[in-house]
Structures are given as structure tokens and as C-alpha cells.
Structure 1
């Protein structure tokens, strides 16, 4: 038996596995069958207590004191299904996972032998989790520990993966009765395709805080996006996630004529647990099997266009890479108040079309800045967020800790 950590994976020794999820409180456990684009094919691929069977995947309710189980028969999973994610949500309305650590136990479905266990760490305001996933890789099946949380319950996970889920309708004004209302607890409305969605927990009575200035999320459907600090763009165009190769161009100019500025652009790759997997910079121009490549060092910042370019093959990144943070450092110790027109921009590497731009303003007298981050969502798409957060560090090594905290 192996105790897994976030992002770790293991080969499955048997074709049929059962994933049970237990906790000190009642959980609702479900399984979603996802294609290579990170979405279900239809609502039939959502397996939970109201729809306990799907192609190659079944749900079984818990016995007293136990947890619900998702059983996967990998030999019966359709060929166009890339992975099955196993999720858990809290049954009590308004409850969070803070102080409640669920444990997933992966067993052989036929002999009951324990293959692995996983307990997600550092849980807080999450009300639902993607706990583990069973996925194909090179003709074989593996299990990966995930532990990623959602604040809007199982309905949030379901809609993120493409399931049509309708929340219960708000009470309407009295009208002539059409039919007798159901007795007992309020029933959720059936979603399209006949799936009766799990009830959505009631929101807390206090109104949520207004979003901070500059925040919000958009996609690429309307062309190039200009981001402000802390704003996020989903790298989706026409409903399809961008999984081709992209370039992150970083540029700057001296604030004072005749003064060279030697800045270094880098990217740090992180896993689910926010631990560094590798970093790419002028001293290490290719990492992760060539899926991330650096153009080389620019010593002055002179010349038009991007000063340094980092190419990322999004579709080829190892699955354990879930976050990328792009940084710029002043190796010679000059402060960013000596820099003008610092920016980063994301381009389609195939067409050189500019997709996203972030112009850095209000420089601080420090030697390092986190320009932007790319985060892989569990639906498979990537999101880019403009950061513009300054730190005191002349090398990428000193950026790892603050970058991990910023993910």
C-alpha cells in the first residue's frame, strides 16, 4: 500500500478498481467521465447517487460508518474517455472541509486489496473536492492524487466539467396551483438529459464581498486581451481550450537613456502541492523534456520587441505540472524604478498572434517581479492571471518561495 501525496501517481495493477472516500462527516461522492478536452460527453457521464451507473463506472452508497465508492472497470471504459475524476462534497449545507480531512482508498475491486490511500492536506473553505483521478497513459491506467477544492460545491465541479446542472428555482409569487408540490425536503430540478442534480447548498446569509478592482475573468473569443493587475483570462477560444504551443514574451526598456538594464526572464513550474518541479532561465534553456524553452539572455534590454521569450508547449506538459509563474529579475541589482515599459505578452507560437498583454505600471524599487501565472484547471484548460508583484530577489532561485505562495 502507498500513501500518496498531491500530484503523485501510480500504475494500477488490476483492471477493476474501487475508490472509496471516507470522512468523519457524511460525504456525497461522484465520478465524472472526461474526454481529452476535460469535459463530459453528456450528462450520462456524471455518475452519482441519483445516477449510479455509467459506461464502465458505477456508484455505490456507503454502509453505516463507511463512505461512498466509485468503481471503475477500465476495460469497459469507452475509448474516447481519457480519465475518470472522483469527487467528494459535504452533505451538510454551508459546511466546509476546514478541519475535516477525507481519505480516498483505492482497492482492487475484486479482491479488496488496498493499492493506495490519499488524504488531501491544507483544506479550508472548500465545499467540494476533486480527490483522485483514474487516467490513461501510454495504453495503461494510472491513479493520480489531486486534492483540489471548489468553494461552490459539487454543482460547481459538475458545471466546470460540462454537466448541465440547474439550481433550485427561487420562490415565485403565489399563483393558481398547477399541481401539488412534493412533500418532504425540497427536490432539485432535473438537469437537461434527465440527470437529477445534487442539491446546491444554501448560500451563507451575508452578502459576498464585492470583487476587488481589476479582477474578473474573460476568454479569447473577442481577440487580444489587455489585462490589468490581478485580472484573469481563460485560455479558451470558441469553447475549446488552448492547448497548442504559446510564447511568453517579456520586454523592458531603460528608464534613462544611455543606461543598460540587464534583466532576466524565467519561468518556474509547480505541482499541485505548490512545490517547485523545475525552472527555466538563461542558465537552463530547456526543461521538462523540451516542453518549456528559453530564448537566451538579453544583457541590455535594447532593441524593439520582446527581450526574452519563453516557449511553452501547453499540450505536452507533464500532468504533474499544474502551475507556471513567469518572473523577471535584475541580476546586477538595478531596481525596477530604473525600468520603463516592462510588459509580458502571450502569443500563439504557430501564428505569432498576440493573445494577451499585461503592461506593468507603478514600478517599485525592488529587484524581482512576478509578472504572470498560468494555472491548469481540472477541466483541462489554462488560465492566465496578471500579477505584477514585486519582491527583493536578483535570481530566479529567490523567486520560488513567493511564487509558490502566490499560486
Structure 2
């Protein structure tokens, strides 16, 4: 199978094996139509190996970690099971160890489909495949969606509870992380589950508590980000709004000097390929889902110098990331600029939700300010970047922006 492809399941019971050049931890999550687990019991992994219709098989004697799914035993209301993988070694990425998923008939062992995702990089966790129900039939889809914040990012996206305290020593022989921090987008998660040796059959136990991992949301109001920080655009566990505006501003560092900076929004797909760019020469993209306010030639005056409005609900499904960049079209360096910032506002009420102040400048002509990344669950996460590059046009910003998704 190729990424995004799907195939019908020809067996009621299937085993999804995931292999790579290095040891992996494999898990499964049972999801409803809302894309969330019903409770933590729907998170199946080595330390909680039994779920309704879904079981985890630990690696042993050359047999890889696997998730077995009995579609006839999956409860009503569960329409999708996602199979995830993460390197067993804490902090390791998938760079150079792209995994292969082999879907077998669980009874006969016959191979039904295989899938290896395209080249990966700094991803520390991966949604490999999903087994889903469509029109009363079960199918399998090749996903290959990576996360930079480990298994924690995946689990959080799908509603697994985040605990504030680490589990007691007896329960943490194999620590567990439970939810992407804002994905796509995000700090490295705590150590991931370690493979455990086969154990005698035992009654199912509730999932172990997770190490400390804070998911920042808009529940407590306005959020100020520092470089690398992320915030989920959720409130009370639900999407907070559908239309936002990214305001970008700056001031000339010296009196009497005009600084012509240009703000742009570059849209990418799941493979980090550019889809389109909203900038001062193209003010609207995706039929008005992203709209640029127009060019400001000086950076003078109060308030935002340029703004870009995004109607999140109007974005095509292939849009997975929006990167907001500022470049100096006239070639002046950012050392000639002060008080550069970006802020996210509710486009309806004009209420400021998130702010990121760029406290330091560097002698370059472009800066990647921040990104909005759509998680696999549909949740949007904003991450402050603040990385300077040498680029004077929106076109020249595409490659560095893609590398920071």
C-alpha cells in the first residue's frame, strides 16, 4: 500500500505487526466517530494489553510487537482503531528507521497488505495504519502520520487522560506517556514505554499513570508563548472557534528609517509539500479560507502591521499545516527591526488569544514566526518558532518553513 491508500479487510480477525531496524513500542487506540477514545481503557499497549476486541502482543523470540483486532468483537460505537509505533529508545526518532506494517489474517497468518511510510525525520511517534468501518465493512488505510512529541502527542490528541504525577515506582518499570502536547509541533515527550517480557495471563489492569506532561489550551484565557512553546486551540475539550486572525507587527529600530517587511502564510500538506501561499501579491487562497490584509510598507502605526485571517473550517482536508513567515523584501536585516511579534485573535470578537514576542533579532532577512498544525484528530495547535533565515521573498521562505513543520 502507498500512503493514504486503503484496502478491504478479507478477514474478521487481523494482526498488525510493526517492524523496524530498531525495537519499537506498538499500541492501539479505539476511537468513536468523534475521533476520541471513550475512556483510558480504549488505549491498548504493553502495560494494558487487553481492550474490547483489541489486544497487544509483546515482541518475543523474533516475533514483533503487534496489535490484534477482532472486528466482530469491537463494540458498537467504535468505528476506527489506529495502530501507533514509537522507538523503544527514549528520545530516538524515526530518521532512517522507517517502520513497516504487515497486516495478517490472525488465524492463518496470511499477509493481507503491507505499508512502509515515506522517509521520516524527527518524528518520535507515528500513526502507522488505521482499521476502520465504512458502510458496514471493515477496511485498512495506510496513514504514516508522524508526531514530534512522542506517543504523548498521539494519545492526547485522541483524548487519553493526562496525569500530573508520575506513576509509583512499582508501576513504572515501563513508563507510559499519554498525550500532540500539541503535535505537530512540539517538545520531546517524556520517555516512552519500554518493551516488557512476556507475562503469564493476568486479569486486565487499568493503564498506568503517565509522567507529567502539560497540554496547554485556551481554558484559562490568553496564552503568552515563548520560543518553541505550543498551545491547543481547544477550550473545555472542544474546538474553541473556527475563524482566527494572525496579526504580525514590528517597529523600525532607528528613527527615520522605513522597514518594508512582508507577512505571508504558507500552506502545506501531510508530506510537507507546499499547497499555496497567501502574501501581498496573492491576498486570498482556498476560496477565501485564508485572506491576507494587504501590504504595509513601513511598519509604522499602532496595532498589527499585517494580518492574515484563517477560516479553519473552510480549509481543504489536505491542508495539514500553516506556517506564518515575515521577510524583508528590501533586504534590510532584522537587526534594523524591534518589537516584532505575532498574535492569534478570535476573528469574530477581536479577542487576543495567543501572543509570541520575538525578544531577540538576528542579521537575517527572514523569520519563521509560528505555525498552525492540524493534528490527526482534527485539533489545531499553534507553536511559536522564531527562527531566522536568509530569505527575502515568500517563495524563498517555503523550504525553511517546511523543514520546521
- Give the alignment's TM-score, normalised by structure 2: 0.71
Question: What displacement does 1:98 show?
Answer: 6.2
Does the aligned pair in 2 maintain the 1:242–1:382 contact within 8 Å?
A: no
Q: CA shift at 1:70, angstroms?
A: 4.4
The residue correspondences of 1:7-406 to structure 2 (distance < 5 A) are 9-13=4-8, 18=14, 19-23=16-20, 27-35=24-32, 38-48=35-45, 50-54=48-52, 67=64, 68-71=66-69, 73=71, 78=76, 81=79, 83-89=80-86, 100-105=97-102, 114=112, 117-119=115-117, 121-122=119-120, 126=124, 128-134=125-131, 143-149=141-147, 157-158=154-155, 161-164=158-161, 169-170=168-169, 195-197=205-207, 218-242=216-240, 244-406=242-404
The 8 Å contact of residues 59 and 71 in structure 1, kept in 2 or not, is answered as no
Give the 3-state SS of the residue equivalent to 2:400 in structure 1. helix
Distance in 1, matches of 2:324 and 2:6, equals: 32
Distance (whole Å) between structure 1 residues aligned to residue 272 and residue 208 of structure 2: 31
Between structure 1 and structure 2, the one with the greater Rg is 1
1:272 Cα deviation after fit: 3.7
Q: Report the alpha carbon displacement of residue 322 of structure 1 after superposing the two structures with TM.
A: 3.1
Q: Is contact 2:292–2:307 with CA below 8 Å preserved after alignment?
A: yes
Q: Helix, strand or coil for the counterpart of 2:169?
A: coil
Contact 2:252 2:299 in 1 (8 A): yes
Alpha-carbon contact 2:262-2:296 (below 8 Å) kept = yes
CA contact (8 A) 1:104 1:119 kept: no
- Report the CA distance between 1:247 and its aligned residue: 0.7
- For the residues of structure 1 that align with 2:142 and 2:303, how far apart are their CA atoms? 41
* 1:340-374, Cα deviation, whole Å (9 max, x unpaired): 43221100122211101123333333321111122
Q: Deviations over 1:317-351 (max 9, x none)?
A: 34443332211112122333333432211001222
Shift of 1:220: 2.1
Residues 400 and 84 (structure 1), Cα distance of their counterparts in 2 relative to 1, 3 Å cut:
same
Mapped contact 1:323–1:374 kept (Cα < 8 A): yes
- SS state at 2:308 partner: strand
Offset from partner CA, 1:284-339 (integer Å, 9 cap, x none): 22334543222222233344322222122334434443332211112122333333
Number of residues paired by the alignment?
A: 369
Provide the TM-score with structure 1 as the length reference: 0.71
Any idea what SS the aligned residue of 1:3 has? coil
- Greater shift, 37-46 or 260-269, is seen at 37-46
Q: Is the 2:60–2:198 contact (alpha carbons within 8 Å) kept by the matching residues of 1?
A: no
> Given the superposition, is the C-alpha separation of residues 101 and 13 from structure 1 closer, same or farther in structure 2, using an over 3 Å criterion?
same
Q: 5+ unaligned residues in a row in structure 2: which ranges?
A: 172-195
The change in CA–CA distance for 1:108 and 1:377 in structure 2 (over 3 A counts) is same
